[in-house]
Amino acid sequence: MAASKKVVARAAELRELISYHNDRYFGADEPEISDAEFDELVRELRNIETEHPELKPEQSLLDLPGAASSTTFAPVTHRQPMMSLDNAMDESELRAWGERVAKGLDHQPTRFVCELKIDGLALSLRFENGALVQAATRGDGKVGEDVTANVATIKEVPKKLQGSARPAVLEVRGEVYMSKAAFDHLRNAKMKENEARIAAGKKPQPVPANPRNAGAGSLRQKDAAVTATRELSFWAYQLGEVEGVPQFDSHHDTLDYLAKCGFPINPEVRVVDSLDEVVKFCAHWQSLRNDLPYIIDGVVVKVDDLSQRERLGFTSKAPRWAVAVKFPPEERTTLLRDIMVSIGRTGRATPFAVLEPVVVAGSTVSMSTLHNREQVQLKDVRPGDTVVVRKAGDVIPEVVGPVLALRPKNSKPWKFPTKCPCDLRSTLVQAEGEADTRCVEPECPNQRDQKIIHFTSRVGMDIEGFGEKTVYKLSDAGVIEDVGDIYSLTTETLLAQGFGEVQSANLLKSIDTSRSRPLEKLLVALGIKHLGPAAAESLARRFGSLDAITAASADELSAIDGVGDVIAESVAGWFATKQHKTLINKLRKGGVAFDNVVVVDAPQTLAGKTVVVTGTLERYGREEAQRAIKDRGGKSASSVSAKTFALVVGNEPGASKLKKAIELGVPQLDEKSFERLLETGELP
């Protein structure tokens, strides 16, 4: 049954939300929703793509484990992808995973390794001939960020391997984290700084909210000397690429080897003989999680036997031999002082709860999102209520609902405001059939600020130094009214607004650099509804310039693979408005490149052919292989079908893809044959 327009629109909306929140968590270290809410978005999109496979793009967001690396650090292509893990949200899902493992191993006896799931930042450490040569973040799993200088300041990370071991290559994967004590030191120091700033009549600086974000932000400092003051720590938990190391039979043997090499291994790692023991281990640490000197949000369970792992293989995004058991969020009760509304860049009015401060999962919570009008009504929370507050995923607080027995007798249901909280006091509108209420006034200053923040962010034009504080400062002063005004800023203007000479010079340099960002980055930065990075890239490559895209009809746009009707109508409608035409002219006058598209000069040997890649290749990262296919006119699909021309098989390939290829008679190629295919377009 074909998907309805409503389902198609919802899938596009979910991809936009997932992409945005993925970047907020992995890229900006500033999540806006809880892990649980993000998981719900992912599950909803997964269900839609399962029920309607025709809506699944060649590269689904669900196959990506993290966010793209920033331009602040040099990119590092992982020779073996740093995959994410599938989640088990409760015991039933854990046991369902255990059943899949048992079935995949023909019910052979299986041992499991249980490891605490540290709430930190995944890291890859590469040693050559015994010496540390590179440290990289996970990034999107294929390309991360080079943070070698910063990691060198972490005392737990050895700079040379201990003992006599000097393997040619040893890649160690683990987690960088900030302990509770280190976080308290940092938070207290920031609060003291703010006391001094307030006393001097200056605005206070943001105070870190939790150890995970503080740790990730500390690791990504441009100045390694700053990272050195942040007391970061590290646990090793996995081998990556290796050359010249002993042969191992089990995962716990690899951990013993890493310990002998000088790497810190979490002392709570346990090897157990049954899934029942895994369940007990999880329950034990769920009850004692707050007794640890660091934050955990679950348990990672892995099959111990390496040969059994090889049999189980991988899905497109995660190993079948491992699962992350997420602990349920902790709950507390507190007073709901008030319900207020914030306005986002699209005009979306989001209610939020102002709470009597309460400590949940180790941190103080004073505000929480309430999502939308319907959620407030469904939960029936009211100012004056005692409410249950949950710290979902140990990151973002959520108001679960009221304690009705404690509700005041004179309580009345909260009514959604009819006016925008900005100075214009425009009317808030809820379109028929939509859950969201929006401010539709184009001059709304709250929308203006959020649009500029999005434009300058890493997901957009990545203008370093142009963060929220800078946006608010310049917009409040009337210096910038939209993103086009960014490119008319001068040294004199910035100095007049209180920026220092060095800060002004650096900011203008960053703005100048952004003028030559690729066209797909500009398209995403404009914040067009439903238009994500993948569709933006397709439009940029097909049309070659912003002017050509602007002139295209919705029908012409929708004909592009990966765009479709919903995105096409949104893009065409956006460029048709007078306000946006004026904005585009501003950007043109500001020197922003409208035609910066990477020109591919490769022979079109794969025109009209669909090629699927599974497993890891030696000379190509997954993204590089897919790019090589597309550059030669082919399609790089995520699943095997009757239309697949060939399946490229690397190390640790996905069993389902291999099975499907065999059933359909799809040719299977090794890496050498793949390179010949790229060159000639012919099968060996």
Task: Report the pLDDT value the prediction gives residue 646, as an integer from 0 to 100.
Answer: 93
| pLDDT, greater one: 299 or 348 | 299
Mean pLDDT of 365-381: 85
* CA atoms of 314 and 104, how far apart (whole Å): 12
pLDDT at 21 over 80: no
204-226 residue pLDDT tens: 666 665 687 788 888 888 888 88
Local confidence band at 372 (pLDDT 50, 70, 90 cut-offs): confident
pLDDT at 361: 67
Least confident of 56-70, 487-501, 570-584: 56-70
Q: What is the pLDDT confidence band of residue 380, given thresholds at 50, 70 and 90?
A: confident
**Residue 195: predicted pLDDT:** 75
Q: Rounded to an integer, what distance in angstroms lies between the CA atom of residue 619 and that of residue 503?
A: 42
Distance, in Å, from the CA atom of 179 to the CA atom of 232, rounded to the nearest integer, reads 7
Contacts with 230 (C-beta within 8 Å, 6 or more apart), sequence order? 178, 182, 186, 214, 215, 218, 221
Q: pLDDT value at position 63?
A: 59
Q: Flag the least confident range among 30-34, 350-354, 366-370.
A: 30-34
**Helix or strand (DSSP H, E) at 11:** helix 5-22
Q: How confident is the model at residue 442 (pLDDT cuts 50, 70, 90)?
A: confident
At residue 68, does pLDDT exceed 80? Answer: no
Q: What percent of the chain has pLDDT over 70?
A: 92
Q: What's the alpha-carbon Rg for the chain, to the nearest Å?
A: 26
Asked whether 604 and 572 are in contact (CB, 8 A), the reply is no
CA–CA distance, 524 with 571 (Å, rounded to integer): 11
- pLDDT at 29 exceeding the cut of 70: no
Which of 185-194, 227-236, 668-677 bottoms out in mean pLDDT, i.e. has the lowest?
185-194
- Residue 465 is which amino acid? G
Ranges 191-205, 214-228, 275-289, 618-632, most confident: 275-289
pTM for the structure as a whole: 0.51
> Is 117 an active-site residue?
yes
Mean pLDDT of 348-377: 86
Q: Which of 18-22, 51-55, 263-267 has the lowest mean pLDDT?
A: 18-22
Query: Of 594, 590, 586, 605, nearest to 551 (Cα)?
Result: 594
**Is 298's pLDDT higher than 90?**
yes
Q: Which domains does the chain possess?
A: 5-63 (1.10.287.610), 77-326 (3.30.470.30), 330-437 (2.40.50.140), 445-589 (1.10.150.20), 610-680 (3.40.50.10190)
Q: Which of 56, 117, 326, 660 is catalytic?
A: 117
- The predicted model gives 569-588 an average pLDDT of 95
Can you give the pLDDT at residue 222? 81
> Which pLDDT band, with edges at 50, 70 and 90, does 393 fall under?
very low
Does pLDDT of 404 surpass 50? yes
Range of weakest confidence among 383-397, 403-417, 505-519, 637-651: 383-397
Nearest Cα neighbor of 285 from 119, 397, 117, 97 is 117
pLDDT of residue 631: 84
Tokens of 132: 């540390």
CA–CA dist 665, 641 (Å, integer): 10
Q: What percent of the chain has pLDDT over 90?
A: 53
Digit-coded pLDDT (tens) for 102-153:
999 999 999 999 999 998 899 999 999 999 999 999 888 888 899 999 999 9
